Amino acid sequence: MGIFEGLSSQSWHQKLLARAKNDGLSEGKASRPAPSSAPYDAMEAGYRAEAQGLILKANERLGVKLRPLAAKLSEQEGKLAQAEASADFRKSPEEFESDAPSIREEYRTKLVKAHKELLIAEGHFNAFKALHDVTHAPNHPKDLFHFLTLIYVILALEAVANGVAWATSDAGGFAGGFITALFLAMINIGIGVLCGLGVRYFNRKDAYARTIALISAGFGAIFCVGLNAFIGAKRAKLDMERAGQLINLGENTAALMSDVNAMILFSLGVLFFALAAWKGYGMLGSIPGYKAVADDYDRAHEAVERLQEGVRSALREPLNKEMSEVQALARKITEAGEKVSEVSTELKQSKGDFDILASWVEGALQVISETYRQNNAAARPTNIPVPGYFSEKMHLDAQPNAQLSELISKADLLRERVDLLSVTKLPELQQRLASLKSALSTALGDSLSQFFQGAQHEARERYIAEIPRVKEV
């Protein structure tokens, strides 16, 4: 029986019934004359008090359960009051639609300027492609750090490889050899990257750019061979000197380069230089200047897209906010109805359980009182008559906590309010939501597309009017 579990145990009934039989003087106590019925009346009053105590405990438990249920009803009552009070909204969907032109116009100047800058950037971009006969898209890496990862790996490999080779010849051992190798590798790799950057100018059509490319290629080849030949010969010379042979580096370079270790160092140096030049060639794109005009074009295009999205957001924001409020209000009504129904069911279930308990206790008390009275009457001396109330039924004050009825009535009234809102308010909210969605669709539809096209057209007219002042690539 829920909260009344344990209060209706059969043990209470059996225990009290046994006492009634005993107190009814059913075991030979009739031979003791009693001057009045007062002792018997007191015993019966005791049974009534015990039964009434059981009802009191049930009401105490009921009171504990009613407190949170009362709080839930008060909370839902507040929500329903808010729903009823919010009958008037700030604006109609038609007013939101009428605000759209002024919102769009706030962005017109910025959007026209951005479109104009895009046209200028696009003109520079196309002019560059036409001037240098470029047909492919920009091929410069988007993430330069990761693109150059191979450079860092090459530098480390060359430093370690040369460090091992120099370790046996350098007075500082491997540490000294590694420092020397790292320094030489940084020069070799750095010049290789710079030469790769310079060779890219072959892809430009102007003579000045191609001259830079030829100088870069020639210098790179001479420097690569010269530096790495010097490194290999120097390594071989140190080995010979440690073996007691004195040799002049400048006069015997060819002979020194015949050494196996010298050839290994030379080959590794040329390989690493070539890899560095290759990465340098692609580091900023294969055509010098193409990355700059492509980046300008991309930035201008992104600026136009950001402004267009800003217009859309400015149009969406008030409508989305209003739709959210409408949806929240509809949810509030629906949820309040569900909560009120849950609380009402729980209250009525508690009342039903209490009524069952009260009926059971009162029925048990009737059985006990009849048992007592029958035994009492049989055991009474003949000179003491049976009291008149023995023929009457024993009754209890078995009413539930007064708050229970109040809360049930309150829940029923709230349920009626919810039903009324469901019939009147919810359809109105659903209609308003549909109208707001329609207004949003209109605001973001053809009128917005026409606005964007108008801004683009205005920018093009201004761009054409200023073409003589647009800087050529």
Q: How far is CA 370 from CA 29, 40, 363, in A?
A: 19, 13, 11
- What is the tens place of the pLDDT at every residue in 357-389? 888 888 777 877 777 777 777 776 777 777 777
Report H helices in 284-385. 290-379
pLDDT at 35: 43
Least confident of 35-39, 192-196, 257-261: 35-39
Q: How confident is the model at residue 113 (pLDDT cuts 50, 70, 90)?
A: very high
Distance CA(422)–CA(333), nearest Å, equals: 7
- What is the tens place of the pLDDT at every residue in 264-320? 778 888 888 888 888 887 777 777 787 888 889 999 999 999 999 999 998 888 888
- What is the tens place of the pLDDT at every residue in 2-35? 556 655 545 555 666 666 666 654 443 443 444 4
- What is the tens place of the pLDDT at every residue in 139-195? 667 766 776 777 778 777 777 776 766 665 555 556 666 777 778 888 888 888 888
Calculate the dihedral angle through the C-alpha atoms of 442, 446, 450, 452, rounding to the nearest 10 degrees.
70
pTM beyond 0.75, yes or no: no
Amino acid identity for residue 468 in this structure: P
pLDDT at 258: 62
Query: Residue ranges per domain, the chain?
Result: 2-90+332-423, 145-282
Cα–Cα–Cα angle for 449, 455, 460, rounded to 5 degrees = 125
Average pLDDT, integer, range 52-66: 84
Give the residue from 129, 469, 460 showing the smallest Cα distance to 297: 129
Q: Is the pLDDT of residue 473 over 50?
A: no
CB 279 within 8 A of CB 237: no
Q: How confident is the model at residue 217 (pLDDT cuts 50, 70, 90)?
A: confident
CB 230 within 8 A of CB 157: no
Mean pLDDT, the chain, as a whole number? 78
More confident position, 363 or 88: 363
Structure tokens at 320: 């989305």
* pLDDT > 70 in the chain, percent: 78
Out of 172-181, 240-249, 380-389, 447-456, give the one with best mean pLDDT.
447-456
For residues 275-290, one letter each, b for 16 or more C-beta atoms within 10 angstroms of the residue's C-beta and e for the rest, the string is: bbbebbbebbbbbbbb
